[in-house]
Amino acid sequence: MSNIGSYEERIENFDWSISEEELGYKEGDVINIGWYCSDRICAQGKGDRPALLWENSTGEEKSYTYDDLRVCSNGIGAFLRSLGLKEGDRICLFMDRIPELYIGLLGILKIGAIAQPLFSAFGDESLFVRLENAGTSAVITQRKHASKLHKILDRLPDLKHIIIVDYDETRPLKEKEVAFSMDARRQDQLEIFPTRAESPSLLHYTSGTTGMPKGVQHVHYSLISQYLTAKWVLDITEDDIYWCTADPGWVTGTSYGIIAPWALGVTQVVLDSGFSAENWYRFIQKYRVTVWYSAPTAIRSLMKAGEEIVKQFDLSCLRHLVSVGEPLNAEAVTWSEKVFGLPFLDSYWQTETGSIMITNFPGMKIKPGSMGKTFPGIVGTVVDPQTYEPLQEPGRIGLIAFRPGWPAMMRTYWKNEETYQGKFKNGWYMPGDRARIDPQGYFWFIGRDDDVINTAGHLVSPFEVESVLLEHPAVAESAVVSKPDEINMEVVKAFVTLKPGFAVSEELELEIMNFIRKKLSSLAMPQEIEYVDSLPKTRSGKIMRRLLHAKEWGEEIGDTSTLEND
């Protein structure tokens, strides 16, 4: 089965009410994502269908039906309420990809609280800034991650509860900790909080160039976009076995790794273990995965592992492949066509947009290397960087711009309305990327319009890495840029000047690396530190990352007229 239809027809007759009607939602109704993803599917008589098939690195397996989702998320909601947590409270999910993470999100939403997922690899400093900014009341986590919280607890007055989902007597509970067992606390009934379209649902933190990470605030109405984009772009049907490889610490893992698939009633599979080509192919074969949503870095890693290994598995179950997060090079598309018999279709969006914006719509002609066209209902173009007027001539590079108003659009940056307002120019929402549009209306990604580094699909703020480097006693100044990398597209590189009295040595390098490793996530770790005598600066004293970046990428340096030491 498939949902594929003509792009032209869909774009012509499009209205978001198509999604509202399918979901049985009318303006002004109660809309709660937690309910839509579990109770509604059960009410349709599909409670016995598998919703989640889960496996971890030791081969342990678990499975949950839609009725299990319903009663387990009810149990979580009731437990959170018993702690005094309520609508509007920020509750953080800080876990590996265990079932409690996925179902916990539904439980939080069911009581009207705001879910704040954070990637479990975050170090204590990365965790601190995000929990402090959100004024988070509770964190749901595992024993192995709780120690990071205890290090920063003193500085987080709003944090009242640390909920441990894998408690056992070998480790006594510590300050503010409570034990909770999801499987033991199933509950048939729960009064679901009557959230409306504009009630806040999720807070996802994303990195910018200058300030601290920004909390992207979404609402329950985002479901309207997530549901229909998943149906039409990911082409999910009820018969599919769907695998989204993204971690719910990031928006792909929530929009399309929890909300959309479960609102569509599909069976999804989750692999909670590290990457290896063999392991991934084995997983696809074992669960008979049909629809696969992944990312360019993973695809490039699979390419590197080679074609021979693909032949050892029966992957004939696959029928539809989609990619997101970074530029998907044309070679990756042709390679996947060759080895899987199916091209990966690119999709473009971001944390702020909440749902897919530009994509190689299934059924339409694919141009390998292009991101495709706007999703129906999305008005997108490229504009002039000075005037913010659409560029009329096809092929000219400009800034991507969208007309605001699609359902999954963020509603603000948490406690940072000013930065949010700054994302709009001349009536357009500016995602901060550059592209060109060809005469057929296909978008071709050029690059970001800021210094944010996209390493393996994860955005890293140079500012955040620089700030942590500066905390080290030997570091005087630092500038963080990207450098090219075969698999991850780009990786983090730091330039550092040392304070007087410190000299470059292997020991110092190791010490600095260890110092920052504890504070950042593994993704944000510099792959290289280059020690320099001085950093290029503007006359006003601002470090010019642009110059260092150009050097790493072998690009033209461009206008240096504002340089201090040129």
Minimal CA–CA distance to 470: which of 543, 537, 522, 527? 543
Min separation Cβ 255 and ligand WT7, Å: 8
Continuous H helices in 53-183: 66-82, 99-110, 124-134, 143-152
Considering the complex, state which of residue 281 and residue 348 has its C-beta at the smaller distance from ligand WT7.
348
Considering the complex, state which of residue 454 and residue 467 has its C-beta at the smaller distance from ligand WT7.
454
Q: How far apart are CA 53 and CA 259, in angstroms?
A: 16
- With contact defined as beta carbons under 8 Å apart, do 379 and 404 qualify? no
Considering the complex, state which of residue 148 and residue 458 has its C-beta at the smaller distance from ligand WT7.
458
Considering the complex, state which of residue 283 and residue 293 has its C-beta at the smaller distance from ligand WT7.
293
- With contact defined as beta carbons under 8 Å apart, do 382 and 391 qualify? yes
Minimal CA–CA distance to 68: which of 32, 114, 103, 108? 103
Minimal CA–CA distance to 127: which of 113, 145, 105? 145
Min separation Cβ 402 and ligand WT7, Å: 11
Min separation Cβ 434 and ligand WT7, Å: 9
Min separation Cβ 204 and ligand WT7, Å: 8
Considering the complex, state which of residue 93 and residue 459 has its C-beta at the smaller distance from ligand WT7.
459
Considering the complex, state which of residue 435 and residue 544 has its C-beta at the smaller distance from ligand WT7.
435
- Residue identified by tokens 């959230």 is 195
Q: Secondary structure of 189-230 in the HEC alphabet? A: CCCCCCCCCCCEEEEEEECCCCCCCEEEEEEHHHHHHHHHHH
Considering the complex, state which of residue 180 and residue 444 has its C-beta at the smaller distance from ligand WT7.
444
Min separation Cβ 296 and ligand WT7, Å: 8
With 0-12 / 13-18 / 19 or more C-beta atoms within 10 angstroms meaning exposed / middle / buried, residue 125 is buried
Considering the complex, state which of residue 225 and residue 454 has its C-beta at the smaller distance from ligand WT7.
454
Considering the complex, state which of residue 206 and residue 229 has its C-beta at the smaller distance from ligand WT7.
206
Min separation Cβ 363 and ligand WT7, Å: 19
SS3 at position 172: coil
- Strands (E) across 339-442 are located at 344-348, 358-359, 373-374, 380-383, 397-402, 412-413, 424-425, 428-429, 433-437
With 0-12 / 13-18 / 19 or more C-beta atoms within 10 angstroms meaning exposed / middle / buried, residue 157 is exposed
Min separation Cβ 49 and ligand WT7, Å: 28
Considering the complex, state which of residue 74 and residue 350 has its C-beta at the smaller distance from ligand WT7.
350
Query: What is the distance between the terminal CA atoms of the chain, rounded to a whole angstrom?
Result: 63
> Strand order in 90-94's β-sheet?
177-179, 161-164, 138-141, 90-94, 114-117, 200-206, 214-219, 412-413
- Residue 76's alpha-carbon distances to 299, 345, 390, 559, in angstroms, are 36, 37, 48, 56
Residues near ligand WT7, by CB under 6 A: 206, 251-252, 324-328, 346-351, 371, 431-433, 445, 448, 454, 459
Continuous H helices in 315-391: 330-340
Output phi, psi for 457, to 5 deg. Answer: 85, 0
Continuous H helices in 398-555: 417-421, 462-470, 506-517, 545-553
Min separation Cβ 373 and ligand WT7, Å: 13
Beta-ladder partners of 434: 399, 447
Considering the complex, state which of residue 202 and residue 459 has its C-beta at the smaller distance from ligand WT7.
459
Minimal CA–CA distance to 456: which of 284, 250, 278, 277? 250
Min separation Cβ 531 and ligand WT7, Å: 30
Q: How far apart are CA 93 and CA 481, in angstroms?
A: 30
Min separation Cβ 352 and ligand WT7, Å: 7
Question: Residue 296: CB partners within 8 Å, gap ≥ 6?
Answer: 323, 325, 326, 327, 328, 329, 332, 457, 489
Considering the complex, state which of residue 369 and residue 390 has its C-beta at the smaller distance from ligand WT7.
369
Tokens found for residue 311: 């032949």
Considering the complex, state which of residue 324 and residue 333 has its C-beta at the smaller distance from ligand WT7.
324
Min separation Cβ 472 and ligand WT7, Å: 27
Q: What angle do CA 298, 267, 323 make, to 5 degrees?
A: 25
Per-residue b/e over 290-303, b at no fewer than 16 CB within 10 Å? Answer: bbbbbbbbbbbbbb
Considering the complex, state which of residue 193 and residue 349 has its C-beta at the smaller distance from ligand WT7.
349
Min separation Cβ 522 and ligand WT7, Å: 16
Min separation Cβ 429 and ligand WT7, Å: 12
Minimal CA–CA distance to 255: which of 379, 351, 388? 351
Min separation Cβ 557 and ligand WT7, Å: 23
